[in-house]
Chains A and B, each alone.
Chain A
Amino acid sequence: MDLQSAKMIGAGLAAIGTGAAAIGVGFVFGSFLQSALRNPAAADGQQGRLFLGFALAELLGLMAFTVALLILFVF
């Protein structure tokens, strides 16, 4: 296998990580909705934590995207 094809395969494999982040983000919002429907009065006060959890979960997927970009364009 030459380097160019290996790069493409590697970038594709790295992109799997964004799918894992999708699971994480879905989990964050899903859990929030579940508990918000149980106690809607307390839900508004937790929005900061909701978006913090979203940002942290999303970041790890973005790392995977960055790795894919690095493989494609830097090396």
Chain B
Amino acid sequence: MAGKIDPMHQFTVEPLVPLHIGAYDISLTNSAAWMLAALVIIGVFMWGGMKRQVVPGRWQMAAEGLTGFVDNLVQVNIGPEGKKYIPYVFSLFTFILVVNLQGLLPLAIVPGWHPFTPTSHFSITGLLAIMSFSLVLIIGFWRHGFHFFSLFVPHGTPWYMLPLIIPIEIVSFLVRPFSLALRLFVAMMSGHILMEVFGSFIVNGFGAGSPVGFGVGIVSFAFIVGVGALELLVCALQAYVFALLTSLYLNDAINLH
């Protein structure tokens, strides 16, 4: 009667343009295509917004609002020294935000299409996290040399607590890239699974043809409207949290504590 619910199917990476060089598979996948789409969207948005008019139009206001938001985030968390790192944090924030929101596009009404969220893959979020973490390491060692290791000794720790505090600080430092990557990946993935499962409830409920199935369909539909709104919030929030944590970690590396 009811179709089997397969919530994991939406995460499959399929090659669109097969391409092999030697033993390496460098096909253009749907993941890469959606990331390129994000690049185009960000590029068009910023290109249209960078008019430098004295009285900004709507588009320029939107672009200025976005840049001003990231600028404020970095200035508050890093201080005047952070101005150099605004482009990096801005790229991270806009990329994650656009890629997350793309995944919620209702493209599945076109048969054979479905939106794909690259950030629901640990390989993508892991790469972003490794970029942030290596930036922190490079800047930290560049600016402070081996003095950077004083990051593991919080200011004002009594000496008898040091054997306990230092391993904890080291572990919490080393866990940072995993926590950054895991948070974004799991938030996007679980949200999409939830929407897929309840979307299937709607289809199967109405398809069952019984009053109970109809009721289930109605309730699931109301639920998924709310979840959809919540997912929009989560998309923006996860992009913000990623940018915020990156700037906090950069602050550790730049100013030490």
A10 to B237: give the CA distance in the assembly, Å.
30
Residues in A whose Cβ lies below 8 Å from that of B244: 48, 51-52, 55
Number of residue pairs spanning A and B whose beta carbons lie under 8 angstroms apart = 33
Which of chain A's residues have a CB closer than 8 A to the CB of B77?
48
Q: How far is the CA of A59 from the CA of B244 in the complex (A)?
A: 15
Which residues of the other chain, A, contact B237 by a CB distance below 8 angstroms? 51
Asked whether B241 is an interface residue with its Cβ less than 8 Å from the other chain, the reply is yes
**B141 at the A/B interface (Cβ < 8 Å)?**
no
Once A51-B244, A52-B244 are accepted as A-B contacts, the answer to whether A62 and B76 lie under 8 Å apart by CB is: no
Decide if the interface of chain A is mainly helix, strand, loop or mixed: helix
Asked, given contacts A48-B76, A48-B77, A52-B248, whether A62 binds B241 with beta carbons under 8 Å apart, the answer is no
Q: How far is the CB of A41 from chain B (nearest CB, A)?
A: 16
Determine the main DSSP class of B at the interface with A.
helix
Chain B residue with Cβ nearest A61: B186
A59 neighbours in B (Cβ, 8 Å) = 179, 182-183
* Nearest chain B CB to A47 CB, angstrom units: 9
Smallest CB separation, A48 vs chain B (Å)? 6
How many residues on chain B are close to A (CB under 8 Å)?
A: 16
Given the known interface contacts A65-B186, A65-B190, A66-B186, the answer about A51 and B179 at a Cβ–Cβ threshold of 8 Å is no
Q: How far is the CA of A35 from the CA of B237 in the complex (A)?
A: 22
A63's partner among B73, B76, B182 (CB-CB below 8 A) is B182
Shortest Cβ distance from residue A14 to the other chain B in the assembled complex, whole angstroms: 13
Interface residues contributed by chain A, number (CB under 8 Å):
12
Instruction: Render B50-80 as a binary contact track against A, CB cut-off 8 A, 1 for contact.
Output: 0000000000000000000000010011000
Which residues from chain A contact B245 at a C-beta distance below 8 Å? 52, 55
**B186–A62 touching, CB < 8 Å:** yes
**Chain B residues whose CB sits within 8 angstroms of the CB of A32 once the complex forms:** none
**8 Å CB contacts to B: which residues of A31-68?**
48, 51-52, 54-55, 58-59, 62-63, 65-66
Cα–Cα distance between A59 and B237 once the two chains are bound (Å)? 14
Chain A residues proximal to chain B, CB less than 8 Å: 48, 51-52, 54-55, 58-59, 62-63, 65-66, 73
What are 29 pairs between A and B in contact, CB < 8 Å?
A48-B73, A48-B76, A48-B77, A48-B244, A48-B248, A51-B237, A51-B240, A51-B241, A52-B244, A52-B245, A52-B248, A54-B241, A55-B183, A55-B241, A55-B244, A55-B245, A58-B183, A58-B187, A59-B182, A59-B183, A62-B183, A62-B186, A62-B187, A62-B190, A63-B182, A65-B186, A66-B182, A66-B186, A73-B8
